[in-house]
Structure 1
Amino acid sequence: MVTATDRARISALLQYRGEPSSDFDLNKDLEPAIKQPLRPAGVLVPIREAADGLRLILTKRSSALKHHPGQIAFPGGRVEPTDVSPVEAALREAHEEIGLPPSVVEVLGQLPTHQTVTQFEMYPVLGWIRDDFELTPEAGEVSEIFEVPLSHVLNPANFTIQSRRWRGHMRSFYTVPYGPYYIWGATARILRVLADRVAQ
């Protein structure tokens, strides 16, 4: 049975924010010569209790989206002027994208920010889901909602570094595949930060 000890342990891991990560961590030669202002985005890392252990909820983005179409992602999005903070943006976006009410989410803390090649600064917010809710994908943004055992993405041995050509250059990135789901890029990088922290 999951107890308050689990929440307390995860929260303790987040007390130290640490250094930001980046899509350029493995690709220093691809960093843009001209630094554009980063656009803040709040993303939720939603953890829930299931009969077989803790689970992480992820989404598959719609192939019609402008940024990162078809990729595996955390629910989340750009911080709007009406958002008080990236945390509020993450909760609002999770409600819009997967039907998760903010009232059932206990915010445990934040991981270091992550810069993407598309010039977003992501603020990952870990949220503990306290009650059941109905998963409802927002058709315009989310093509699928699925879950991964938290233990899978907390094991550094499940991560690999792969490469592909991007804008004429070879780009390397982290991956942590699960079944038919190819989790890579910024999502995998953020999860690797969490995995490394748990493994310490």
Structure 2
Amino acid sequence: MTRDQLLRQFSLTTPSQYHADSLRRIAHLNKQSLRKAAVLIPCIDRPDGIYVLFTKRASHLKHHAGEVSFPGGKYELFDRSLADTALRETNEEVGVLTNQIQLLGQLPSLVTVSQFEITPFVALVKQDYRCVIDPNEVDSVFEVPANYLFNPQNLHTSTMILRGNQHPIFSIHYQKYFIWGVTGQIIQSLQNQLQFKP
């Protein structure tokens, strides 16, 4: 996937909602009690195409230790917007400077079982970005080619029962990494929007 393909498909296609079973699972939650958060989907424009940056969360964290995620975190009162939250957290976690990031837009918010309302932002990142990991939050970073990540053939779907309801689990294996959970749900939605055919 090239930069132009990403821009065209993301800009001209209506954002795709998340899987209906996922939305039903959280329908009973009180919207007023949800904590807001934001993540960045950093797309790096390289000579051979777009790559997407992921973090592997630090193994000592209390929640989701060692899991693969997009950089991001919870909204703080000093953030001017959720977009600022995504940019700030990306800088804090992996050191990417705001002036190296071009926001393209956002996906619909996604509510999690842990009662966060997460808003993903898609962005282009300059290929000469310098990564500086915060070891308190991140063990490592890696990039996945968009040709692989946004190809629906590489997305696996399974089902689990949670509190008596069916819940789809979307996952992708890439090299030694296993991407799933909320991150998998975001990827599935973005795949639908981009409709990429390698």
Return the TM-score normalized by structure 1: 0.85
Aligned counterpart in structure 2 of residue 35 of structure 1, from 17, 30, 36: 30
How much does 1:10 deviate? Answer: 4.3
Contact 2:16 2:189 in 1 (8 A): no
Q: Quick one: which amino acid aligns to residue 87 of structure 2?
A: L
Partner of 2:81: 85
Contact 1:13 1:198 in 2 (8 A): no
Q: Per-residue CA shift, 1:169-197, capped at 9, x if unaligned? A: 88541101111110001101101111111
Aligned counterpart in structure 2 of residue 123 of structure 1, from 110, 119, 130: 119
Partner of 2:155: 159
Identical-residue share of aligned pairs (%):
34
* Mapped partners of 2:195, 2:87: distance in 1: 27
1:67-106 equivalences in 2 (<5 Å): 67-106=63-102
Q: Per-residue CA shift, 1:19-61, capped at 9, x if unaligned? A: 4x37x83595x54855361111110000012233210000011
Gaps of 5+ in 1: none
How much does 1:116 deviate? Answer: 1.1
Aligned counterpart in structure 2 of residue 145 of structure 1, from 117, 141, 145: 141
Q: Per-residue CA shift, 1:83-128, capped at 9, x if unaligned? A: 0111000000000001100111010001111111111111100110
SS in 2 for 1:176: strand
Contact 1:26 1:173 in 2 (8 A): no
How much does 1:162 deviate? Answer: 2.6
Partner of 2:188: 192
* Mapped partners of 1:67, 1:167: distance in 2: 20
Q: Which of 1 and 2 has higher RCO (CA within 8 Å, sep 6+)?
A: 2
Count of aligned pairs between the two proteins: 195
Gaps of 5+ in 2: none
1:53-68 equivalences in 2 (<5 Å): 53-68=49-64
* Mapped partners of 2:29, 2:125: distance in 1: 40
* Mapped partners of 1:84, 1:153: distance in 2: 31
